[in-house]
Each structure stands twice: as structure tokens, then as C-alpha cells.
Structure 1
């Protein structure tokens, strides 16, 4: 399970690096992740590493990479 989460985190990082800031629905589509659980576990991984910035706009949650 941990390996899958790490792999999915890589998919998310690559999508955000290529496409930039996007909402979670678009991110799920761009990464072709099947479930919300897969998406949010991988987002949690990247967030814990300090690689993501989250922005709430109304009901939407936007995600973008933090480049150090």
C-alpha cells in the first residue's frame, strides 16, 4: 500500500509540474487515479513532505507545487 501511495504521489507531482495549479477534480482526471482515496492519500504524502500549497476558493480545493 505504501509503495502505491508513493507511486501515486509521483503521478500527482508530475501532473502539477507539467500542468500547474488545478482543482482536485482536474488533478484526479489528469493522473487517471481511480478513487478519491488514492488521490487524497498521495496528496497527504506530498503535503507531509512540504511540496504542496492548497488554496480553497469557495467549495473548490486547488493544489499547486511548492518549488524550493
Structure 2
């Protein structure tokens, strides 16, 4: 796995999250077809860019798009 692949996988995850719903890690994994390592790297990429919100509810991790509003 290299940066290019991680970026492409982040794009797949971004597309799935574009419905603005809160997705469980398991649902994202099933729908994206990515392996744990690939999905984890993609989520990390999006988190580092401050594009997503992560929340833990009981034993499940949920991911959704973050809303960034910049007033310049």
C-alpha cells in the first residue's frame, strides 16, 4: 500500500460518506470492500485533513462527514 492507494481509498470512503449519514465502521467496510488496514488508512487520511467526525458509541466506531465552515 502506498500514498496513492491510500488517497484513492480515502476517495471511496468520501463518496460513501457524501450522503451525510453516520456510518458504522462495519458498514463502511462492507460497502467499500476495503480490508481493515486499507479502511483504517483511508479514515486516517480523512481525519488528518479534518474531513470527518469520529464517534464511539458503545463498542462501535461511527464515521460521518465533518462540516467545515470558513468565514474569511
**Structure 2 segments unaligned to the other structure (5+ residues):** none
- 1:8/1:51 CA distance change after superposition, 3 Å: same
Distance 2:20 2:53 in 1: 15
TM-score by structure 1 length?
A: 0.92
Q: Which has the higher helix share?
A: 1
Asked if 1:56 is matched to 2:59, the reply is no
Asked if 1:26 is matched to 2:27, the reply is yes
Which of the pair has more CA radius of gyration?
A: 2
**Structure 1 segments unaligned to the other structure (5+ residues):** none
Q: Which residue of 1 aligns with 2:13?
A: 12
- 1:28/1:19 CA distance change after superposition, 3 Å: farther
After TM superposition, which residue ranges in structure 1, 4 or more long, deviate above 6 angstroms?
none
RMSD over aligned Cα, in angstroms?
Answer: 1.1
